[in-house]
Amino acid sequence: MDEYHTVAAFFDESGKFKDHEVISFGGVAGFNENFRPFADEWRRLLHRNGLQILSAKDAFNARRPLSRKNTRVGVKERNEDLADFVACIRRHLQVVTGVTIDVRAFKKLPTHFFQTYGDDPVFVAFARALLKVVEFTPDQDKISFTCDDEEQVAFPIYRLYRRIKTVFPEARKKLVAISFADDRALFGLQAADLVAALLRLEARRMWLRVRYDCEPLFNALSKSPAKHERIWDVSIAFADGPTLIGLAGSLKAEREKRKAT
């Protein structure tokens, strides 16, 4: 039997398209063996801050203490505390990736786009993020993909996962597992929650001019890899109207090409 490594990928969404003008789907990926030191450090950081779980929605509120153990409040203090979690991701894992989507522009796309991806923009973001992990993964290696377990999203994402394996030969060869899990049990999903939340906040700043306190965390997450870090690639896409139109056009061309053959 050929030897191969397993790439583990953890992804989460931020924002629901029925309630928000911007949604994101983002996460982290790395070789399976690197998740042990990542998990060890993440666990230490949780313990140091008195947390059972890192939830971006709660942690980004700098007016409230992180926990009874860490009672520091204030924007500067909160960015300092959460910067350690960002550094943990970049110190141990290989890929940070994600897609944000302008929901208003998404709703204006042509019909063929929705026939391929459905009417929920998170599925578009999922497809693009998944293909990015496929692109990163060496030819002989395999991918195990884990998403946060939300009932209304899980089954459609599974169907899209199957479709991606059908349409893209490279994905079919590398993708071997998809699962849905509780982020309270998996540190990789907590990291994905942090990534997805920061992407959505940054997109809101870019598109809607909404400022946010933890911008330094996004800058730290998205900067170019340093020599001492294991991170290989930070690939972030902001899908505004023109980007989505281009994607819709490429999908149409791809469909016509398949019909011709």
| Exposure string over 32-66, b if 16+ CB within 10 A, otherwise e | eebbeebbebbeebbeebebeebebeebbebeebb
Q: What is the pLDDT of residues 25-83, one digit of tens each?
A: 999 999 999 999 999 999 999 999 999 999 999 999 999 999 999 999 999 999 999 99
Residue 45: give the domain boundaries. Answer: 6-260
| 6-14/22-31 β-pairing | antiparallel
- The count of domains in the chain is 1
How many residues can be counted in the chain?
Answer: 261
Q: What is the pLDDT of residues 149-179, one digit of tens each?
A: 877 778 888 888 898 888 788 889 999 999 9
Does residue 1 sit within a domain?
no
- Statement: residue 1 has pLDDT above 60: no
Task: For residue 133, count other CB atoms closer than 10 A to its CB.
Answer: 25
Per-residue confidence band for 88, with pLDDT thresholds at 50, 70 and 90: very high
161 with 145: CB under 8 angstroms?
Answer: yes
| 175-181/22-31 β-pairing | unpaired
Does residue 44 sit within a domain?
yes
The pTM of the full predicted model, rounded to 2 decimals, is: 0.91
The predicted pLDDT at position 18 comes to 62
Does residue 202 sit within a domain?
yes
For residue 201, the domain's CATH number is: 3.30.420.10
The predicted pLDDT at position 248 comes to 75
Does residue 38 sit within a domain?
yes
Does residue 76 sit within a domain?
yes
Task: For residue 198, count other CB atoms closer than 10 A to its CB.
Answer: 29
The predicted pLDDT at position 15 comes to 77
The predicted pLDDT at position 167 comes to 79
Per-residue confidence band for 93, with pLDDT thresholds at 50, 70 and 90: very high
Which residues are CB-neighbours of 5 under 8 A, at least 6 positions away?
31, 32, 33, 138, 140, 141, 142
202 with 240: CB under 8 angstroms?
Answer: no
